[in-house]
Structures are given as structure tokens and as C-alpha cells.
Structure 1
Amino acid sequence: MRMARILRPEGLSGEAITEITCELMLRIGRATAQALGKGCAHAPVIYISHDPRRAADALEAALCAGICAGGGIAHCLGVLPTAGMALLLSAEDGDAGISLAGGDKPFEQICVRFFAKTGFPMPAEQLDSISALLPASAALPLKSQNDCGIIARQADAVNRYLRLLNTRLSTPMDLRGKKPVRIALDCANGAVSAVAEPLLRQLGAEVLMLHYTPDGLNINHGCGVKSTDQIISFVRDYGCDAGFAFDGDGMRCLAADESGELLDGDRLLAILCQERLDQQANLPELLPRDMQRGVAATFVTNLGFLRFAKARGIPVQTTQPAPQFVLEKMHDLGLPLGGDGSGCLYFADSPAPDALMTVARVIQVMQRTGKKLSELAAVMEHDPQVALSVRIPHYWREIWKNDPDIARFIAACEQELGTDGRILVRERKEDAAIRVMVEGRDFRRINNYAFAIAEVIQSRTKKQ
């Protein structure tokens, strides 16, 4: 891998310590501080957050050492959702941010993500300027003991994040005399474990917690968005009005309604779109209605959401399924909301996908309307989707697209399916695998198509 391409907007992922090494983090810290320092009249301030996976402390220590050696100031926020760090960065005086988290991955994996001072993902041009300084031969001279940077540990980061969240939520309603909604939260033993309960209690919810005691090794282990059977069973057993499961970083969430039916990100987005439409229906005629500009979605957004939006006159602006692309689309077009089925939802007043803000806003809709979550979700009919991953040899990467047998078979399936659904086949960037997704109203039919396509791809790519 060329050093000039090691840092990308989607982050740098790998196994902690053995692939994302402390030595690499030391160089990244030094290069980041030096690259930012070129355009600063002051020592660059870099915010750092991490989730509670075990290796994060060691990697953060190496990162801070590199930042100080490069003349920067490391503001260590501790365990905090990445969205929290991005929100603090956008509201305060930092010059950049770095998160060390692994999303829904097990504790062994980690991803290093970079953020501009706006809180949005750092643009490729700025990442390239950092990458250029990573090799030892390209590094600028280190600072001396007189002008090296410092480490500032921010013990109040969680409270600052909560305050910023509260300023962005609706004015609290008078809930006197009303039975509080009973909410279950599966925190995945991750970054929201210490944040979620106080936020939702401030909204007047009764909160029941599970998987909220991280030990560094249990993050995402049999819990959270990867194991939604846990939250579904909990909601049913304890008579909850709703349940929400997070990923370890607090960027994604999925929901279970009062009956235990799982709701994905597309259905949560539909609930929030409908709420916004209802609120704007009462505005004076001359005031702008931001839902008329539309919402941001991805090319894997459920067909049911597209029908929901079309029926209500909401333009859907489609882009690739990654935070930097959805946020860019929202920023360029002035869109109020965005999201996808994975549970990443985006808001115009937050620079990163924030699962806590998603949960809080859905709960406020339940409080305002007095409706059950199942009733709110009924605004959208959800089409079944079947997704499979097919591992392929590395030498088949990209060239599988030109295989005539694979292309003909996919085209034949698409023709048979017609307007009753869709087929998406694409290569995953992070590994040698092809993702097959088939969607339609007839589950048995789309399931057969998905497995048949996967079998053809597997049989063709096994041949030399």
C-alpha cells in the first residue's frame, strides 16, 4: 500500500496493536500536528475520543505522544461516541478530531477516523497532506522540550456532549399526569453506556439498561445491533414500549417496537420524516418547509421508504452508503434528514451520524403523539431484503464484473424480477468479497434469487 493513500475519508481500519500499531499511531499523531501546524498561528488543538475497547488506551497514548512531538495539543475526551466528539469539535475551538473506535466490530478491530474542525469527515486533500508527512524521510523536525505540545484530559466531555444534545432536542413537554414511556437500551458495552441513560431520563422516559458494563473485551459481544434478539426478548419480557440497540461507537441504532418487531434505520427515518411533515403542516404558508428539499438516502435504502417518500412528495436524494457521502449530499442541498437501513441517521444540526440523537427524537415523537412505536412505524411498508457476502480470490477483484456468465445470470434474474424488486451486486472495498442484495415483496422469491446469484459467483470465481 502506498503511504500517500493510507489515510482515507472512511478511516483506517485493521486489527488493533498488530495492524494498527502504536508505532503507526505515533507517526499519525506527529504528522497530523505538523500538517495542521503549517496553517495555524497557534499550536493545533486535536480532539481525541475512543470507545471502550481494550487497545484504545494504548493507541491513544501513542497518538498523543506523536501529537505532542509534532507541536500539537491533544484534548483527550476519553470514552465518548464519535458523534459526541464531532459535535464538541464543531461547537468549540478545536482544529481537528480523531476517533479510535470500531463500530459494530469485535474488540480486536479498530478504525481511526479523522474529522475537520467543522466536525465533518476530514476531506481527502487534508488527509493527503497528513499522509505525505508519515514516512520518516518526509517528517518535519520534531519540537524541542521548550515547544512540544501538551495533553489536556477533558473529564467533563460527557456532560458537555449532553448539554449540546439537549439544546438540539425539542423543548421538553409537560409530561405531568402521563405515564412515562418505558424504554429498553442495549448499549453493546460500548461508548454510549455512560451517556444514554441520563439523556433519556432527562426526557422523562423510564429507562431499563442491558449490556452497559464495558470491560474492554465485551464490546459488541453477543449484544447491540449485531445481536438484536437480545433487545427483542428484553422488550417482550419486561413490557417495554420500545427498545433500542446501539453499536459500540454509538453511530448506529436499531429499534424494537412494543411487540418485539425489529425496525431498521429506514423505518426510523420514515417516522422522523413524518413527524417533520406534521410539524411543518401547521406553519404559516410563507415560511419555508425544509422537507420540500428532500432527504438523503443511499442506493440500498428500502423500496418501501422510497414509496413512502413519493406518496408524501418528499424528494429522495440518493448517494453512496457512507457517512462522508450522505453528509456531503445533505450539506450541499440543505437537507434536514438522511439515513439508511443500517441504522445510521443524519441530522442537519449534527456533523456525524448520532444514534443517541436518533433515539431521543423517536422517543419525543412517541411522547408528543401518544402513539405506540408500531403505530408510528406503520407509515411505511417495509420490503424484505436478503443480503449475502461471497468471498472471492484476490485476483478476481474487479474482473468478476466482466465475467459473461455472471453478468448474464444477474441480468436474467433482474428481468424475471422486473418491477417487483431490485438486485444490487457490488464488491466490498474492505475485503475480497462480493455483496449480493435482493429486495422485493415476496421473500421466498428474492431469497431464491440471492442464493442462486451467490452460487454462480462462487462457482465462477473458483475456476482458474
Structure 2
Amino acid sequence: MSRLFGTDGVRGLANRDVTAELALDLAVGAAHVLALRGEFADGHPRAIVGRDPRASGEFLSAAVCAGLASAGVDVIDVGVLPTPAVAYLTGEMNADLGVMLSASHNPMQDNGIKFFDRHGYKLEDDIEDQIAAYMGESWQRPTGADVGRITTDLDAINKYVDHLVSTVNYSLQGLRVVVDCANGSASTVGPEALRRAGAEVIVIGAEPDGININHEYGATAPRRMASATVGHMAHAGVSFDGDADRCIASDEEGNVIDGDKIMGTLALAHKEYGTLKNDTLVLTVMSNLGLKLAMNANRIKTINTAVGDRYVLEEMRKGGYSLGGEQSGHVLLTDYSTTGDGVLTALHLLSRLAEKRVKMSELVSEIQSLPQSLINVKGVDKASAATNEVVADAVKQAEKFLGDTGRVLLRPSGTEPLVRVMVEASSQEQADMVCQKLADVVLAELAL
């Protein structure tokens, strides 16, 4: 039986896979596993609940709040805020758990439910499984004054923005920055944080209507941001995804800067500051080989994990590291945050730009990526990707062809029904050719 939780919470088509009933049951399970196992001064544990602007988030958030309150948990509804804001506020406000309703970079018809422990960290697999196992169990329902109460905190956004700005060492005064908010949960927070840090901000993709989240804007569609950066003669551009746990940037010439280049640039800065703990950067297997070569040249160790920022964080906590993340733009700065935070990442990248007083293209130039091709193969049985012999043989042949000049990575997505085929090579033409051939094999062998 497959797990209910994926690599980043429970996610699927809203009102089909992720229903109000499921949200309520998960909330009750989370209340019992995370909150109702101790004594509380006022008799009630507390939970922080936030969401992104998706239309389905309105009823799913209501269901989560109802489930928690019915189990005796007091709920503080912080409304539309980024995922990392909910994580931060959970720890800062001494809550017993946090819940975020979001499907991150997925299209608006999807939604998801993510949980955080009382310290603001995403849950380990065994805790998630305990929550799933609790669903459907009989339990003693509180009555009268023992039920939870639901309140709102209109000042939560200011608490979070104040925290973000407090982490920046150099004012962004004099920088003109394009900010693409993906019509998502950073539509207020992102521009406000950069303005308070001193930047002149040009905002796009910040008119969420519940339907337009991630549509042609945001970290998964950065060309619009990159074009606006050139058009407005800005020093840089930054782009967040729907729940703002990712950041992708642009230089002054409109060249897109992915998570690898952002992490590499921040790693070099933190090594210079003496704040890169153990001189180590934690990456996933998706990170470009060029980043690893650049880090090695600067005596920075790299450690690889499975794909997913939660696995990066697990490795960081285990080894006491302070910087890590993913090529997709999840960057973890654990001196300031318990999870990937797009706005925090943007602030620190721009702060380094302000400090060095160079062009963004020059700032990131030390991180050179090998040509890479990525194809998401949809409509396939992703569970069979690791066991199909024909696919495995095709991967071996591709690796033999590339030799030491490239690499192949084939993996099922943890959040979507598809298989990702990624190839790095000495030239873009070679990477594209090998990647397409492998994608064709995957589709032919695994098509549903």
C-alpha cells in the first residue's frame, strides 16, 4: 500500500484527491499525534494554520481548522502567507504544530496539506505515518469548554517580515529589483520585505484571484521576470513559486539564475564571512556537476541527498550544516529558517549584490553549469521506473556514451505523476539528444 504522504505532505487534485473530509481527518490525526500528548497551562494546545491563495484553500483551511478545534486545539488562522512563514510563526508563537494548505508550484487545481512540528520543522516519515494511521480511529471527543477556539492574527505578516529583514547585513538601498510573486502567497510579503530592506521594487504577478496562482508567472516560468528585469533596467530580478519556498533569480541581462547558482554564490559569501558551518554545502542529486566543481575549487565540501528539501534539511541537521538546497530554488539557510524560504533567499542574494557593488552577472559568474536537459515524462507508471530492465539498460548505455563528461539521472517525481529524465553533457546538443532518447524509452516502456 502506497503512503498517503509524499515528499512534501499530502498533495493532489483538490476536491477529488485532497477533499474537505480528508483535510478534517488529517487535522484530527495531527492534533492527536503532535499536540495532545502533554499538559498545557490553559488546557489547550495551539496550532498555526496558513494557506496560499488557491480557491480550494478556502474550504480546505476551514476543514483543517474545524478538525483541530474539534479535537481540542486552539487555532490561530494567519490566512494567506508563505509556507516558510507558517513554519517560522509556529516556532516563534510557541504553537504545538503548524499546518500549511498549498500545492506549492503545482497548477491551481491541485492543493496539499503540510504539517510542521512545534519547532517549525517538516515531519519525519514515521510521524507522518502515525498521523495517517490515526485517521478513522475512534477517539474521545471534547465537549463544552474543552473544544478548541479559532482566532485570526492580522499582525502575523508583520512578525514574519520583521524577521526576514532582521537577517540582512547590507541595505539594498540603490538596487532596483523586479519581484515576481507567482500570484501566490508572497504577493504582499515579498515586495514588502524587499522595500523595508531598502530596494526599489517593481512588482509583477502579485494580483492573486484564487485561480491564477503559478499561471505563466513565478519560479517555474521565470522568463517573464527575466524579461521585465531587462525592460525596467533593473539590477536583478527574483521570482517565487506559489507558496514562496523557492526563489529563482535573473541578472541584469535577463539570464535566469537557478538554485544551484544562488546556493553557490551564497556558499562563497558565507565561507568568506566564516559562517558556512563545516565549510559544507548540502545538495540533492539534481544539482549540476558544475556547481560541485566550483565548490571543490573553493575548498567547499558538497554532500548529496535524495531530491526533496526535507531530505536536504535532515542531512543539514544531522551534520550541523548551515546552507543547502535544490536546483529548483529551494534554499535552506538554517541560521534563520527551518525550511526553504524564497523571500529570505532573495534578500540574502541581493544583500551580497549590494555588498560587492558589482553586476549580478559578475556576482554569479564563478558558478558555471554544465549543459543540462530535463524532460518530465507524463502518463507513465512511475512506480516501475526503477525496476524496468529496458529502461535500466538504456540508462547504462547513455552513461557509457557520456563517459566522464556528463551524467544521467532518472527518477519518479515525489509530488507529481511523472518521471523526470535529466542529462548533463559537454554540449547542449548532446544533452538534449541523450535526454530525448531516454525519455522516448521511458514513455514506450512505462506508458499507462
Q: TM bucket by the smaller chain?
A: over 0.9
Deviation at 1:86, TM superposition (A): 0.5
SS at match of 2:48: strand
Matched, 1:374 2:361: yes
Matched, 1:196 2:190: yes
Pick one of 1, 13, 16 that aligns with 2:14: 16
1:337-416 counterparts in 2 under 5 A? 337-349=323-335, 350-391=337-378, 393-394=380-381, 397-398=383-384, 400-416=385-401
Matched, 1:157 2:156: yes
SS at match of 1:397: helix
Q: Supply the distance in 2 between the matched residues of 1:33 and 1:457 (Cα, whole angstroms).
A: 42
Q: Supply the distance in 2 between the matched residues of 1:264 and 1:84 (Cα, whole angstroms).
A: 22
One-letter code of the match for 2:21?
E
Q: Supply the distance in 2 between the matched residues of 1:290 and 1:362 (Cα, whole angstroms).
A: 15
One-letter code of the match for 1:241?
H
Identity among equivalent pairs (%):
29
Deviation at 1:278, TM superposition (A): 2.4
Deviation at 1:220, TM superposition (A): 0.8
| Aligned residues of 1:133 and 1:140 also touching (Cα < 8 A) | no
How big is each residue's C-alpha offset from its partner over 1:315-352, in whole Å with a ceiling of 9 and x where there is no partner?
Answer: 10110121211111111111121122101100122101
Matched, 1:324 2:325: no
SS at match of 1:332: helix
Matched, 1:456 2:411: no
SS at match of 1:236: helix
Aligned to 1:33: 31
1:89-238 counterparts in 2 under 5 A? 89-135=90-136, 138-170=137-169, 172=171, 180-238=174-232
How big is each residue's C-alpha offset from its partner over 1:198-233, in whole Å with a ceiling of 9 and x where there is no partner?
Answer: 211122111000111111111111111222221121
Aligned to 2:262: 268
Greater radius of gyration (CA)? 1
| Aligned residues of 1:291 and 1:314 also touching (Cα < 8 A) | no
One-letter code of the match for 2:287?
T
Go from structure 1 to structure 2 and tell me whether the alpha carbon gap of 1:371 and 1:458 turns closer, same or farther (over 3 Å shift).
Answer: same
Q: Supply the distance in 1 between the matched residues of 2:356 and 2:170 (Cα, whole angstroms).
A: 15
SS at match of 2:310: helix
Go from structure 1 to structure 2 and tell me whether the alpha carbon gap of 1:333 and 1:55 turns closer, same or farther (over 3 Å shift).
Answer: same
SS at match of 2:177: strand
Q: Scaled by the length of structure 2, what TM-score is found?
A: 0.94
Q: Scaled by the length of structure 1, what TM-score is found?
A: 0.91
| Aligned residues of 1:34 and 1:140 also touching (Cα < 8 A) | no
How big is each residue's C-alpha offset from its partner over 1:284-331, in whole Å with a ceiling of 9 and x where there is no partner?
Answer: xxxxx6444401101111111001110011110110121211111111
Q: Supply the distance in 2 between the matched residues of 1:385 and 1:220 (Cα, whole angstroms).
A: 24
Unaligned runs of 5+ in 2: none
Count residues in correspondence: 444
Pick one of 292, 296, 303 that aligns with 1:306: 292
| Aligned residues of 2:36 and 2:45 also touching (Cα < 8 A) | no
Deviation at 1:372, TM superposition (A): 0.8
Deviation at 1:9, TM superposition (A): 5.8
Q: Supply the distance in 2 between the matched residues of 1:392 and 1:213 (Cα, whole angstroms).
A: 33
Unaligned runs of 5+ in 1: 281-288
Q: Supply the distance in 1 between the matched residues of 2:217 and 2:169 (Cα, whole angstroms).
A: 30
Q: Supply the distance in 2 between the matched residues of 1:276 and 1:75 (Cα, whole angstroms).
A: 36
Aligned to 2:432: 447
Aligned to 1:285: none
SS at match of 2:213: coil
Deviation at 1:393, TM superposition (A): 4.7
Aligned to 1:68: 69
Q: Supply the distance in 2 between the matched residues of 1:381 and 1:294 (Cα, whole angstroms).
A: 19
Aligned to 1:6: 4
Go from structure 1 to structure 2 and tell me whether the alpha carbon gap of 1:257 and 1:59 turns closer, same or farther (over 3 Å shift).
Answer: same
Q: Supply the distance in 1 between the matched residues of 2:162 and 2:38 (Cα, whole angstroms).
A: 29
Deviation at 1:375, TM superposition (A): 0.4
Go from structure 1 to structure 2 and tell me whether the alpha carbon gap of 1:219 and 1:239 turns closer, same or farther (over 3 Å shift).
Answer: same
How big is each residue's C-alpha offset from its partner over 1:376-416, in whole Å with a ceiling of 9 and x where there is no partner?
Answer: 0101111121111224554x732x54444333332122112
Q: Supply the distance in 2 between the matched residues of 1:293 and 1:242 (Cα, whole angstroms).
A: 27
Aligned to 1:296: 282
Q: Supply the distance in 2 between the matched residues of 1:454 and 1:232 (Cα, whole angstroms).
A: 29
Q: Supply the distance in 2 between the matched residues of 1:27 and 1:409 (Cα, whole angstroms).
A: 44
Q: Supply the distance in 2 between the matched residues of 1:275 and 1:383 (Cα, whole angstroms).
A: 22
Deviation at 1:247, TM superposition (A): 0.4
Go from structure 1 to structure 2 and tell me whether the alpha carbon gap of 1:259 and 1:37 turns closer, same or farther (over 3 Å shift).
Answer: closer
RMSD over equivalenced CA pairs, Å: 1.9
